Structure formats: C-alpha cells, structure tokens
A and B are shown apart, each in its own frame.
Chain A
Amino acid sequence: MITARNIRRRIGGLEDISLEVPAGACTAIIGPNGAGKSTLLDLLAGRSRADSGAVEFGGQPIADWAPLDLARRRAFLPQSLEVAFPIRVMDLVMLGRSPYHGRVSAQEDRAAAETALRLTDAWHLRDRAYQRISGGERQRVQLARVIAQIWRPGSQDGEPRMLLLDEPTASLDPGHRLAVMRLLRDLAIAGIGVVLALHDLNDAARFADQVVLLHQGRILSEGGPADAMQAEVLTSAYGAEAEVIRAGDAAPVIVFR
C-alpha cells in the first residue's frame, strides 16, 4: 500500500530507507529517541518530501495525489495534541470530516464522528471543552478525529486506506493503552493499513504484524516481531542490555536490564 524506495532526508537524519507497508496489517516503527521514527512517518504520510528516493501510496507517487483524495484515504495522528482555541470535543472530531465537505450528508459525518468517539471510548466527552480534559483523554479524542477522517461505512471497494500514528498510546493508562492497541489491530484486520511509532516494545511484540527497528536513521532490523526484535539487535539499538523471554506461541516479552 505504501512503498518507500531509498528515501533520504537530511533534516531528521534518515538515510536510504526502503520499506513496504502492507494494507490490512499493523506495522510498528520502533527505535530509540532521535532514531528518525517521526521523520519516517511524516514521509510515509506524504506530509514532507524526501530529499531523494520515492514514496508511493496505492501505486501512485504520494505527491501526485490530489490533497483531498489523499485526505479521505490517509490520516495522521501527530504527537502534539494542541488546538489553538477552546473547542468542543465533538466539533474537534468533526474537523476530521472536513475532506468530505459537500460530498456526504451532515448525518453521515456526524455518524462517523460518533462511531469514532465510541471506538476510542471518548463518546462521553463529546460535549466537553477539549482544553479541559486530561492528556490521555485528548489523545483518544484526537485518535477519534483521525479515524473519523478515513471512516467510510460499508466500504469494501478496495480503495487504499491508511492510518499513521505517532506514539498513539504515549499518554494513556494501561487499560486504555491496551484498548487502543486492540482497536488499531482490529482496524488493520478490517483492511486499513496501520503504521505507528511506538516506544512500548511489548505492545509491538503483541499487536504488530511487522516491526521496523530504526537506529540513527537506518533500518537495523525488520520483519515479524520475533525476527525483528532479537536481544542483540535491541541491545545495540537502545544501548541497554535487552533480554527477550519467549514462552511457546505467546508474544515474546522484552525486558531491559
């Protein structure tokens, strides 16, 4: 669905990354601070341009997409969750429906926003002021906004849809963190390509279909969680001794010492 070939970007320090992000799967980008995770996500989302190399979305160079067509198929959850002016939660999520303006009915927009808020367990916040809810609640509300952006009820038309998320669970309590990871996996099963930058390696091991380990702007390892997250490579990437505990078919557990 998204194909990156030999992309470089000096600002952000990405060097020669080639990557295939499939539809219907959950891809986790992991790596230490400053490894280039956010830069890579931005490039894959078409939010910034690579100095060299190519990014394609749905078989077409991502820069060639009409902005509104792309916006209805690809949403991005940034790390920064600030909104300039006091706004009601429901109105904020409805901003995610802007690309559908004049194309679908107001009821359909509202239904998409409601579904998204229910999926992220934030429906009860809909009439609250966004600036007055907690950091974790804001993250779920913004997640609802980006889900609403690519939400199309009953769409089985095979059009590519992509959700890119920069540390979507950073401010969440353990219960909501697991709920959001399960939600993202379910969205992937429903056919959406999900890519997320993640710090929690155990979540990556448990929920991702594909893991990409970045270190100093290069891919250090990639593949299924068990293959990409070996103890030696994690140790060298994070500069702390990693131990990978495996028990049968369950997802491996990673501990740093």
Chain B
Amino acid sequence: MTESTIAASGEGAAQPAAVVLPLLVVAVIAAFLLSVALGPIPITLSEIGAALTGGPVDAMLRDIILDLRIPRSLMGLAVGAVLAVGGTAMQGLFRNPLADPTLIGVSGGAALAAASFIVFGASLAFIPDGLRLYAMPVAAFLGGIIVVLVIQRLAQRDGHTDIATMLLAGIAVNAVVMAGIGLLTFIGDDTQLRTINFWMLGSLGGSGWGPLSAVGPVSLLVVLACLALARVLDGMMLGEREAQTLGFNVETAKRLLIVAVAAGVGTAVAFCGVIVFVGIVAPHMVRIAIGPAHRPLLIGAALLGGILMLLADTLCRLIVAPAELPIGIVTSLLGAPFFLALLIGRSRTQSV
C-alpha cells in the first residue's frame, strides 16, 4: 500500500457534504426567487430587486412582493427547515429512517386543539377580537406540546424515556386524537368541517410578517439546538446503550430533542396546519447524498426541507390560480410515491 492511498482514504475518498451543501444553498436562493416571482401575478427579478432596494416599481407590485410573497417564502423556508430538522432528529432518536415528528404526537395534538377551536371557538366570547387571529395558533401549539408530554410521560421507565414504548404510546395516543378530530367533524357544521379539512391539509396562505416573527426565530432556535446535539445523534446510531458507553448523556439529549422538536414543529403546525412527508423525505434524500453524520445532515435537511416547501407552495398557487390548493395535497402526492419507493428499497436490501 502506498502512502498516497493511505492519505487519500484517511481524509475520506470524497467529502460529498462539501459539494452538496453549497449546491443546496444555491438551490435555496433559486427556489426563493422562483417562489417570489411565480404566482397569479407574475413578477420579474428586476421588479423584486427594485422593491427590495426602494427603486421605482408599481406600488401594488411592491406591496405584493414585500407584504405577501417574501414573508410567505420566508415562512416556507422556516417551516420546511424545522419540519426536516425535526424529522432528522426523530429518525436519529428512533433509529429509523421512516420516523417523523408526527410519531411523537405533536401534529395530532395541534390538529385536535385547532379543530376544537374551530368548532367551539365562537363560544369563547372572552377572547378580544384583536387576539382572535393568534388564538388558534396558540391553541394548536399548546395542544401539540401537551400531547407530546403525555406520550413522553407514558414512555417513562425507571427515570428514562423508553423509545420503543414511546413509539407504541405515540401510535395509541394518535389514534385517540384522530378519533377526537373525527368526533369534532361529526358535530361541526359544514363551514367548520371545511375549515378543519383545510387546516389538516396545511397551507402557507396565512403567512405574513406577524406569523413569521413567531415561526422564524423558533425555527432558527430549534435548528441550532438540534445541531448542538448532532454528536449525540451520531452516537445514537450505535444504539442508546452504546452512546451512553461512549460517554454521551443520552437521557438529557433525548429530552432536549423531544422538547425542541415539539416546540418547533408545534409552532409551524400552529400557523400552517399539518404538512406531511417533508419531515421524512428531506432527511432521507440528504442522507443518501452525504451520509449519516448529523451535523452536515441536519444542515442539508434544513436547506432541502425549505426548498421542497417553496416548490410545493409555488405549485399550489399555480395549479388552480387564482385559487390555492392546500400544500398537504402536493407534499402527499409527491411524498407518498417516494415513501413507497423507500419502503420497497428497504425491504429489498434487508432481504439480501
């Protein structure tokens, strides 16, 4: 064996992350510009530039760019990033590439709370009109967090969180939550039923600088928190016991990850409804491209999650313009075939 092969392999024959991550950054910028430009009213890049720099541009176009399209696209990036990072963290925690944040009940809990608010909210007369806009997101956020805490509580065994029990408890509690939502759609009137359905399918349509000021900072914090725990997630690839034997504080990391993901996904779901598959698809695709090391994986998944959300949202606005398709329909239509391919590919490699 020559010295040069040793040196080359020591560095790793290729560092795919060093190539893929910059490409994803470029793609994020491209998807962002695309999503701002495309819509019922097409906008040119020079008009976007003019609106941003205070140059000469039609006042209505400026309003559309600055108050509708840009906050909406930033919202897409933030929501996509937090869903994908939440998915990455849950896959690492459950040691399963098919895991996503819905497993810990955050989406279901938020959906139940939101549906309750849609059906019973009108009778909550004590809420001042000014706060009504935020009352439903707050209810959804709290609903998500409460259900996560219930599931985590059920999975406590001798002072540690039993991940396998948590998975099973999550399935059971999610079933109860879904029954609750079913009951609410049964007792709700037609308008409420339609609102619940729309919310369950997700949309970035409610975006604006206000919601973004909540979702943006929370998403950033959650991404940073997960990045800080990237090395524990690496150790967890060997199993919880082995990660502990390597000196990692696995119990604390588990709790922090669950709380961070619940808060991040809870906030996103509260404003945008349930958006499926981004949390599974984005981390899986990035893992195939750059490998399982969590620091680059989390960054790549955040970027790709944002890209997927922007592309899906742009499609939603274009397909039935001037109306809008719920984004969950697009992410499911594109995500489900990918998910099936993943399942088939997995069973094939496992049978070998």
Chain A residues within 8 Å of B, Cβ to Cβ: 45, 47, 67-72, 74-76, 78, 80, 82-88, 90-91, 95-96, 98-99, 101, 110, 114, 126-127, 131, 149
Contact = CB atoms under 8 A, between A and B. Distances in A.
A114 B10 contact: yes
Given A47-B241, A84-B237, A95-B237, A101 B10 contact: no
A72 B292 contact: no
A163 to B, nearest CB: 12
B245 A47 contact: yes
Contacts of B50: none
B324 interface: no
A67 B292 contact: no
Interface of B: 6, 9-10, 12-13, 92, 95-97, 231, 234-239, 241-242, 244-249, 287, 291-293, 349
Contacts of B244: 47, 67
Nearest to B241: A47
B237 A87 contact: yes
Contacts of A85: 97, 237, 287, 292
A96 B242 CA distance: 10
A88 B9 contact: no
A74 B291 CA distance: 28
A95 B234 contact: yes
Interface of A, secondary structure class, is mixed
B239 A67 contact: no
A131 B241 CA distance: 20
Given A84-B97, A85-B292, A131-B349, 15 more contacts: A45-B245, A47-B241, A47-B245, A67-B247, A71-B247, A72-B247, A75-B245, A78-B242, A84-B95, A85-B287, A96-B246, A98-B234, A98-B247, A98-B248, A127-B13
A86 B10 CA distance: 19
Contacts of B245: 45, 47, 71, 74-76
A126 B96 CA distance: 24
Nearest to A126: B9
Contact of B235 (A72, A98, A114, A131): A98
Nearest to A114: B10
Contacts of B248: 67, 98
Contacts of B238: 83-84, 95
18 contacts: A47-B241, A70-B247, A75-B245, A78-B239, A78-B241, A82-B239, A84-B239, A86-B287, A86-B292, A88-B291, A91-B12, A91-B291, A98-B234, A99-B246, A99-B247, A101-B231, A114-B6, A127-B13
A68 B292 CA distance: 23
B239 A80 contact: yes
A117 B143 CA distance: 50
Contacts of B239: 78, 80, 82, 84
Contact of A98 (B6, B231, B349): B231
Contact of B237 (A75, A83, A126): A83
A98 B246 contact: yes
Contact of B12 (A70, A72, A88, A101): A88
A107 B236 CA distance: 24
Nearest to A49: B158
Nearest to B6: A114
Contacts of A96: 246
Nearest to B293: A91
Contact of A67 (B6, B236, B249, B287): B249
Contacts of B293: 91
A95 B287 contact: no
A90 B12 CA distance: 8
Contacts of B246: 71, 95-96, 98-99, 149
Q: Which 7 A-B residue pairings sit nearest by Cβ, starting from the closest?
A: A71-B247, A84-B95, A85-B292, A68-B247, A67-B247, A99-B247, A84-B237
Contacts of B287: 85-86
Given A95-B235, A95-B238, A87 B247 contact: no
A84 B233 CA distance: 11
A13 B225 CA distance: 41
Contacts of A127: 9, 12-13
Contacts of B9: 90, 126-127
